[in-house]
Amino acid sequence: MKGAAASVGKFLLKTKLFWGLAVLYGAGIILSPVNRKGANIFLEPGNQADVLRQVANNGIIAVGMTLVILTGGIDLSVGSMMSLGCMLCAMLLTLPGWTAASTASIPILGVVAFLLCAYLVPLVATNVRRGSAKPVEHASWNIRLLGLVVGLVVGALLVWWTTSQLQSKFGVLGVLITVPAAGLALGAFTGLVIAKGRLQPFIVTLAMMVAIVGLARLLGGETAAVYPVYTGSNATEDFEILRTLVLQVVPVPGIFFLVAVLTFGFILKYSAFGRYIYAIGGNENAARLAGIQVDQIKVAVYAISGMLASLAGVLYTSQYRQGKPDAGAGGELDAIAAVVIGGTNLMGGKGTMTGTFVGVLIFGFLTNILLLKNINSNIQFVLKGAIILAAVLLQEGQVGLWWKRLKARTKKVSTGESRRDEVLQDHR
Amino acid sequence: MSSLDNLNQLTQPFALEMRRISKSFGPTQVLREVDFELRAGEVHALMGENGAGKSTLMKIAAGLIEDFEGQILVAGQPVNLTSPRDATRAGIAMIQQELSLVPELEVDENIFLGQEKLQSLFFVDRKSQVQAAEEVLKALDFHGPLQMPVSKLRVGEQQLVEIAKALVSKARILIMDEATSALSINETERLFQVIRRLAAEGVAIVYISHRMEEVTALAHTVTVLRDGRHIGTVPAKGANRKDLIRMMVGREIQEMLAEDKSAAETARPMLEVRNLSLEHPSPTPSRPTLVQDVSFAVGAGEVFGLGGLLGAGRTETLQVLYGLHPGTSDGEVLIEGEPVLVLSPIEAKAHGLALVTEDRKRDGLVLGAGIDRNIGLPVMRTLTRFGVVARGREKALAQSMVQKLNIHARDIEQTAGSLSGGNQQKVVVAKCLVTKPKVFLLDEPTRGIDVGAKAEIYRLIRDLAEQGLAIVLVSSELPELMLLSDRILVLREGRPTALLDRTEFSQETILEYASPGGAIQPEFLNLEATL
């Protein structure tokens, strides 16, 4: 009986994050106002879809942030990266010809495509030939050459295709390829500086955060701070696709978020790359000595983070119909908060993508509930801060320790007299 | 001893008395109703295999573990020890295995950390601190300069600073956990003198150690724990080495490996090292390089020992071989006669080198990850297809290593951090073996692990050598080094001074060649001259 209770307790403790979400959801239902027809507004499909749409950007960034934090790093540049992605996207959509945005991003796209292919083709090729019996650790020169050739072809094709689009304007596919490529490149640069310079991620990404927001502003030029994007008039019609609801309920940005969670959740849990991320966060020295390409993994992680953040920028542009250089301001903090609420340790090595997913939802539903209750936005901030603190305290298990310590403090201490008397008596 | 004395001693309260102490970490019971009594002026050795609960018991006394069952009395008075501060107030100080000094603070600042001498309200009176520190340290036979960060001191000196810190806080009970595991022989001897003097002054000392010789040389009383239980307390004088071992492991074990090993055939050199050198990050005239002109060849099946004092460049030699100092090191390395260039652990692994580092927690293991994941880490690429880990193969690999090396664990997913030292070390060895190395570099492979596990590691090293691996062994324990090695190259301040055959092994010979100002074999002399 006692054992059963203990194991139930253990199960509850292990899944406390989900219970937290459930409690919040319940609170949302109870606290929600009722509309004229008597339906619970919180539970309306429209409202649920809204929550998913609203958390999508933060969620996508948080996915990348989870990878970074698991390696023991942090990426403060994601908010700026989102701003840059947003500006790039809006300019590519609305301005034809060689503008600052297209001149910068098309060559980057070419280079990124080339390098990715040159790296991935040998990787895939060695995996194809790998059976369980004899591993092939290194790709032969032929395959490397093949990778280079494929890279050149793909890079050239992409550059040719995007350039051909310049005369009209970029469509949705164009920005969805070009903008994340730019984010990937910038993120990879950040990772390179951190890994090769053996620098603190905090400082490097702080510098990048400042620099990239500057880039975003520079791109826009002095005249326009905000680029309105009107699909059908100053931008192509197909960009509207990012605003639609799939099956009338699921917003497209939400799908991007879900796909990102599933993809990187899978990678984290089941792939060698994921293992390396955990190993580096758990003990970087040990990982390095085990012959793991620590620097490569770090670069990849920051590149992914940058890519996802700039993708969030594209989605922002579609939702708010504008590109502005402060679109992602403060985004890094929301993402870090969601990751930490999800139970990922800021020291690295511990945490899950599921946790981050729940963390993002907790954050989203909380905002939604407060919004429905029409609570002053400043009070909202205070409440959010309190929730973060409470979540982290519970996650770290310190609260339980306080309780134990209190018990130990108040434990009654009996005197030592009786024992000494015993000894004396024995002696006599 | 007259019966009156005896009675007096009994009526005098124990300096420290721990009654029926129990403690469990999660499901594992670490201590079961352990009684421990310590008298003033006594050196009390606490022995037991790893995981026996020695450190846990003493951490409780030092206030480092707050929830436990049982009662603690200091000088007859019950005390509540739930924080290190409580322990300090009760006059208990613990010097842990991993020293707890702040590396960047200077000697006196460390000694008075948390109990600074203040000039006025909050200005630290450095001058009188330095004076007081000097006084205490002089009594401990420490004469180095104090105005430098403790990170610049040698490990032995840092230990003395720790002791000084304890003395300044007026500790009457001093707990030392594996105090000598990082010390050279000279430093150990000096530490023993200090301990004896402190005991004579009435300080009660608990000395946790694995080393039988130390215990019999130093302690008055020995308490043995096994599996969290108090097995027995005996006077150290009459204690017989065999009996103690039996108390610790609960069975007769064949003490270490008795059989003598015939010299290995060194027909086929597996590893050849020529003129290895490593720059000193901050060179001084007396020590321009960390490693200089080290050359040797190790045959397949040979265990090649590197001897020397702490800081002689043994660890660094292994590190250079493993590619950890690219750019600052120089020299030629040949594996199976082929010259190889090793500038990173990745290349080292590819060329068949494996390294067991001296600090398994810092460099060897991902403590938060399971045994299986740790073992699979170096060969992850062979366990994946399209980047996805084949969990079954990973588990099977770990399972086979767990069986082969006799790693004791609940299951293979148990985190490495929750294993005992000996088992952790076996996991580190397993991590290396899965890469199928040709050359095995071992740095202090038995540091801080218990007798039973030590014997197993010894046997393992022998087995690996028999399977044709070339093994380079670094150990500060001379008996261990001599037991395992076929030949020993002695280093002194980064330079080789002697190459000894098994017939020439003796502690005295090795120490003579290792100590500064000692002898140098003629073939290494001219090297010195040409520098």
Q: Return the residue of A nearest to B372 by Cα.
A: A275
Torsion of CA A206, A208, A209, A214, to 10 degrees: 140
Half-sphere exposure of A281 (CA within 13 A, CB side): 28
| pLDDT of A139 | 66
B73 to A416: CB separation less than 8 angstroms, yes or no: yes
Count of residues in chain B = 531
pLDDT at position B263 is 46
What length does chain A have? 428
Minimum CA–CA partner of A414 in chain B: B78
ipTM value greater than 0.85: no
Sheet containing B470-474, strands listed edge to edge, beginning at the edge strand earlier in sequence: B353-356, B439-443, B470-474, B303-307, B487-492, B495-501
pLDDT for residue A130: 54
Do the domains B260-277+285-352+437-531 and B12-249 match in fold?
yes
Measured between CB atoms, does A297 come within 8 Å of chain B? no
Q: How far is A412 from chain B (nearest CA, A)?
A: 9
B59 CB-contact burial (10 Å; exposed 0-12 / middle 13-18 / buried 19+):
buried
Distance set, CA A247 to CA A241, A252, A256, B154, B482 (Å): 13, 10, 15, 70, 76
pLDDT value of position B259: 45
Out of A293, A350, A419, closest to residue B368 by CB: A350
Q: Tokens at residue B308, please? A: 């020397």
Which residue out of B381, B391, B428 would a mutagenesis test of the A interface target, given it has the greatest number of A Cβ atoms within 10 Å? Answer: B381
| Parent domain of A308 | 55-95+169-395
User: Six-digit token pair at B378?
Assistant: 């170096």
Q: Identify which of B348, B366, B385 has the shortest CB distance to residue A279.
A: B366
Q: Judging by DSSP bridges, how do beta strands B221-226 and B229-235 pair with one another?
A: antiparallel
Contact by Cβ (8 Å): A59, A337: no
Contact residues for A389 (Cβ-Cβ < 8 A; gap 6+): none
Count of domains in chain A? 1
Average pLDDT on A113-141 reads: 69
CATH number of residue A277's parent domain: 1.10.3470
Please determine, for residue A134, whether its predicted confidence score (pLDDT) is greater than 60.
Answer: no
Contact between B383 and A272 using a beta-carbon 8 Å cutoff:
yes
Q: How many whole angstroms separate alpha carbon A241 and alpha carbon A252?
A: 8
**Cβ–Cβ under 8 Å, residues B490 and B513:** yes
pLDDT > 90 fraction of chain B, expressed in percent and rounded? 19
Cβ neighbors of B179 (< 8 A, separation 6 or more) are B95, B159, B191, B207, B209
| Residue A239 Cα distances to A55, A90, A175, A243, angstroms | 20, 11, 9, 8
Q: Averaging pLDDT over each range in A12-26, A106-120, A300-314, B358-372, which range is the top one?
A: A300-314
Judged against a pLDDT cut of 90, whether residue A27 lies above it is answered with no
Interatomic CA distance for residues A309 and A184, integer angstroms: 9
- Nearest-neighbour CA in chain A from B88: distance (Å): 17
pLDDT digits over A250-260, tens only?
888 999 999 99
Contact A290 B345 (CB under 8 A): yes
> Do B42 and B216 touch, CB atoms closer than 8 A?
no
pLDDT score of B437: 92
Instruction: Please tell me which residue, A404 or B394, carries the higher pLDDT value.
Output: B394
By the CB < 8 Å criterion, does A264 face chain B?
A: no
Which residues, other chains included, contact A199 with Cβ-Cβ below 8 Å and sequence gap of 6+? A193
Q: pLDDT at position B2, please?
A: 44
User: Measured at the alpha carbon of residue A65, what is the angle toward residues A64 and A70, in degrees to the nearest 5?
Assistant: 105
Residue from A307, A363, A310 nearest A340 by CA: A363
Contacts of A292 in chain B (CB under 8 A): 346, 377-378, 380
Instruction: Name the residue of chain A whose CA is nearest to B365's CA.
Output: A286
Please give the average per-residue pLDDT across A171-189, as a whole number.
Answer: 90
Identify which of A275, A285, A288 has the shortest CB distance to residue B380.
A275
Q: Average pLDDT for residues A318-344, to the nearest whole number?
A: 88
- The H helix count followed by the E strand count for chain B is 18, 22
Task: Report the gap between the CA of B424 and the closest CA in chain A (Å).
Answer: 13
DSSP B485: -
Confidence at residue B282, expressed as pLDDT on a 0 to 100 scale? 75
What distance, in Å, lies between the first and last C-alpha atoms of chain A?
Answer: 49
Model pLDDT, residue A299: 95
What percent of chain A clears pLDDT 90, i.e. is strictly above it? 29
Using a CB-CB cut-off of 8 Å, the residues of chain B touching A270 are 388-389, 391
Q: Is residue A29 part of a domain?
A: no
Q: Which CATH number is correct for B12-249, 3.10.20.600, 3.40.50.300, 3.10.129.10, 3.40.640.10?
A: 3.40.50.300
* CATH architecture observed for domain B260-277+285-352+437-531: 3-Layer(aba) Sandwich (3.40)
Cβ–Cβ below 8 Å for A285 and B345: no
Domain-embedded: residue A334: yes
Three-class DSSP labels, chain A: CHHHHHHHHHHHHHCHHHHHHHHHHHHHHHHCCECCCCCECCCCHHHHHHHHHHHHHHHHHHHHHHHHHHCCCCCCCHHHHHHHHHHHHHHHHHCCCCCHHHHHHHHHHHHHHHHHHHHHHHHHHHHHCCCCCCCCCCCCHHHHHHHHHHHHHHHHHHHHHHHHHHCCCCCHHHHHHHHHHHHHHHHHHHHHHHHHHCCCHHHHHHHHHHHHHHHHHHHHCCCCCCEECCECCCECHHHHHHHCEECCCEEHHHHHHHHHHHHHHHHHHHEHHHHHHHHHHHCHHHHHHCCCCHHHHHHHHHHHHHHHHHHHHHHHHHHHCEECCCCCCCHHHHHHHHHHHCCCCCCCCCCCHHHHHHHHHHHHHHHHHHHHCCCCHHHHHHHHHHHHHHHHHHHHCHHHHHHHHHHHHHCCCCCCHHHHHHHHHHHC
A270–chain B nearest CA distance, Å: 6
Instruction: Give the gap in angstroms from C-alpha A278 to the nearest C-alpha of chain B.
Output: 8
* B391 vs A contacts (CB less than 8 Å): 270
| A405 contact residues in B (CB cutoff 8 A) | 66-67, 82
| Closest Cβ opposite residue B355 in set A289, A293, A349 | A289
Nearest CA in chain A to B415: A282
Examine residue A137 and state whether it is found in any structural domain, yes or no.
no
Say which amino acid occupies A388.
I
Question: Is B387 close to A272, i.e. CB distance below 8 A?
Answer: yes
Are B384 and A419 inside 8 Å of each other by CB?
Answer: no
Q: Strand B470-474 to strand B439-443: parallel, antiparallel, or no bridges (unpaired)? A: parallel
Mutate to test the interface with B, among A123, A128, A270, A283 (most CBs of B within 10 A): A283
Q: Exposed/middle/buried for B499, CB within 10 Å: 0-12, 13-18, 19+?
A: middle
What Å distances lie between residue A12 and A1, A322, A363, CA to CA? 16, 45, 21
Tokens of B150: 């403790």
Q: Residue B421: helix, strand or coil by DSSP?
A: helix
Which comes out higher in pLDDT, residue A419 or B485? B485
Question: Does residue A102 form part of some domain?
Answer: no
Question: Looking at residue A418, what is its pLDDT?
Answer: 45
Best of A126, A138, A289, A412 to disrupt the B interface (most B CBs within 10 Å) is A289
Instruction: Tell me how far CA of residue A428 lies from CA of A359, A420, A421, B6, B10, in angstroms.
Output: 69, 13, 11, 12, 11
* Helix, strand, coil abundance in chain B, percent, nearest 5: 35, 25, 35
Pairs across A and B, CB distance < 8 A: 129
Chain B partners of A127 at a C-beta cutoff of 8 Å?
Answer: 384-387
Both tokens assigned to B489: 């190259």
pLDDT band at A55 (very low <50, low <70, confident <90, very high): very high
* pLDDT reading at A233 higher than 60: yes
Report residue B252 as tokens.
């007769």
In angstroms, the CA B449 to CA A358 distance is: 43
From first to last of the 531 residues of chain B, give the pLDDT tens digit: 444 455 455 567 788 999 999 988 766 678 889 999 998 889 999 988 766 788 889 989 988 888 888 889 888 888 888 888 888 888 898 887 766 788 788 888 888 887 777 777 677 778 888 888 888 888 777 777 778 888 877 777 788 888 888 888 888 899 988 777 667 777 788 888 888 988 998 899 999 887 777 888 889 999 998 878 898 888 888 777 777 877 876 654 444 444 444 444 445 788 999 999 998 887 777 778 889 889 999 988 899 999 988 778 899 999 999 999 988 888 999 998 889 999 999 899 989 999 998 888 888 898 888 999 999 898 888 888 777 888 888 999 999 999 888 888 888 889 888 888 888 889 999 999 998 899 999 998 887 777 778 888 888 898 898 888 999 999 888 888 888 999 999 998 888 999 998 888 887 788 888 877 778 888 787 655 444
- Which phi-psi region, left, alpha or beta, contains residue B188 (left: φ > 0; alpha: ψ -120 to 50)? alpha
Domains of chain B, residue spans: 12-249, 260-277+285-352+437-531, 365-435
The two beta strands, B353-356 and B439-443, are parallel
| pLDDT tens figures, B272-289 | 999 999 988 877 777 788
Answer whether B346 sits within 8 Å of A349, measured CB to CB. Answer: no
Q: Are A61 and A205 in contact (CB under 8 A)?
A: no
Residue B423 CA to residue B429 CA, distance in Å, equals 10
Measure B81 CA to nearest chain A CA, in Å. 9
At residue A133, the pLDDT reads: 39
Asked if B435's CB is within 8 angstroms of A293's CB, the reply is no
β-pairing, B329-335 vs B338-340, is antiparallel
Give the pLDDT confidence score for residue B127 in this predicted structure.
81
- DSSP letter, residue B449: -
Query: Sorting pLDDT into bands at 50, 70 and 90, what band is A376?
Result: confident
3-state secondary structure B266-326: CCCEEEEEEEEEEEEEEEECCEEEEEEEEEEEEECCCEEEEECCCCCCHHHHHHHHCCCCC
